[in-house]
A and B are shown apart, each in its own frame.
Chain A
Amino acid sequence: MPDATGLELIARELRETDPDSVLDTIFFRGRATVLINPSAVRSILARLRARGYGFLTSVHGVDYYPEEPRLGVHYELLDMDRADRITVKLRVHTEDARLESVTPDWPSADFQEREVYDMFGVEFSGHPDLRRILMPEDYEGFPQRRDFPVGGEPVLFTYNEALGTAYPE
């Protein structure tokens, strides 16, 4: 991990070309995180790769409900020569959950961006094959969003036999 000072140096270097690209830096419990502008995701990841972070280990989605913007996408980068990690985070609104795909640069993002699309509904423009990966293709809704009902089936036991199988609200 870069320490807190190293993180600030990285952030300053990223701001040199595009001052609006880095919104914030977070250093918490030894983990360095850069909070970035969603429109700059490809260029930022390319710059970090040039610094040695050559392996995109994970892309995952978060729902920060009720904060706004709600949906977050996290990119975990690894520098395998120095055993060094950095996290890149960004936020998008649910109404306009669009983001540039990094799959053309990082093939390991392919399935993980599909999963983020499947579970959170973030659309990655430029992805070669963006469709659902876990849920059935005709499934409606994005089940990992916090406002999605947990769902499930009402089960008929002896104790609710008289009540029927209406799902308890």
Chain B
Amino acid sequence: MEIDRQPLPAGEGDRRLLIERARARDLLRGGVEDEAAFERYVEERVMTTTMERAFAWSRSNSFFPLTFGLACCGIEQMHVVASRMDIARFGFEAFRASPRQADLIILSGRVSIKMAPIIRRLYDQMLEPKWAISMGACCSSMGVFNNYAIVPADKFMPIDVHVPGCPPRPEALMHGILRLRSMVQGDPPPGWRERYGARGTEELLGDAQGEAQDHPSAADIGLPTGGPGDTAGA
């Protein structure tokens, strides 16, 4: 591409320089002139926070999970990374092959008593700060393999989030990871029971709490009660 360079007429260069300078100041200060307005301008646009919160924010948005699968849940864990669920949307896609580089271990499957010391060693090799998710029924609540060979994960290492299911769907694992993100960020609980009027739906059998709970009906909590085929509002 050819560029023609021609000298400007006398006086024209100074005028253009003034225009450029005015534009730059406009970009920086947004057109504010006096110092008081400029202070207010900075206060409105600059966010202050603590170092801990900034660290938590950056850590919680880029977990590096350990490439580690134990059993059938490992298949679901793979789907979280694949294109349909795509955990890369949240920044957790960098599965590291070494525990030295990982800060999240997902126990995806049943843990045998012979495997438990190995997992504990992997967890000890991970650098602080580190988190652990127990995925599936087997390593959370023993599930179908509750026998002489299996041990629950809470017996030998601290677990931050339990994801129930046998196996959990990839969405469930993703929800677990996002709950862990909220935990790391120190967010308050989302309070979904209050929002959906779901008080009284906790998993409680009558005698454990002394008395049976009254379960709300669909009408009480404002859910649509139309019969099948009622698609109004769908």
Tell me the A residues contacting B by CB distance below 8 Å: 134-136, 139, 143, 148-153, 155, 157-162
Does B113 sit at the interface, judged by CB under 8 A? yes
A149-B149 Cα distance, complex, nearest whole Å: 12
Contact A158-B148, Cβ < 8 Å, known A135-B114, A136-B114, A153-B155: no
Residues of A within 8 A of B208 (CB): 158-162
Judge whether B203 and A153 touch: CB under 8 Å.
no
Q: Which 10 pairs of residues, A with B, have the shortest CB-CB distance? A: A151-B148, A152-B146, A159-B205, A155-B141, A143-B148, A159-B208, A136-B114, A152-B147, A155-B142, A153-B152
B203–A158 touching, CB < 8 Å: yes
Known: A158-B208, A159-B204. A153 touches B142 (CB 8 A): yes
Structural contact, A159 and B203, CB atoms closer than 8 A: yes
- A153: chain B residues at CB < 8 Å are 142, 146, 150-152, 155
Q: Would A148 and B114 be within 8 Å (CB), given that A155-B142, A158-B204, A158-B208 are in contact? A: no
**Interfacial chain B residues near A160, Cβ < 8 Å:** 208
16 A-B residue pairs with CB within 8 Å: A135-B149, A136-B114, A143-B148, A143-B149, A152-B147, A152-B148, A153-B142, A153-B146, A153-B152, A155-B141, A155-B146, A158-B204, A158-B208, A159-B204, A159-B208, A161-B208
Beyond A139-B113, A159-B204, A161-B208, list 5 extra A-B contacts (CB 8 Å). A135-B114, A135-B149, A143-B147, A143-B149, A162-B208
Interface of B, secondary structure class, is loop
B220 within 8 A of A: no
With contacts A136-B113, A136-B114 known, is A150 near B204, CB below 8 A? no
Given the complex, which residues of A lie within 8 Å of B202, measured CB to CB?
Answer: 158
Residue on B with the closest CB to A155?
Answer: B141
Complex-state Cα separation, A134 to B112, whole angstroms: 10
CB-CB under 8 A from B204, the residues of chain A are 158-159
Residue of B with least CB distance to A159 = B205
In the complex, the chain B residue whose C-beta lies closest to that of A151 is B148
For window 111-168 of B, CB contacts with A under 8 Å fall at 113-114, 141-142, 146-152, 155
The closest CB in chain A to the CB of B141 belongs to A155
Q: Which residues of B contact A155 (CB under 8 A)?
A: 141-142, 146, 152
CA distance A151 to B145 in the complex (A): 10
Residues of B within 8 A of A139 (CB): 113
* Docked CA distance A163–B205 (Å): 13
Residue of B nearest to A152 (CB): B146
B142 touches A149 (CB 8 A): no
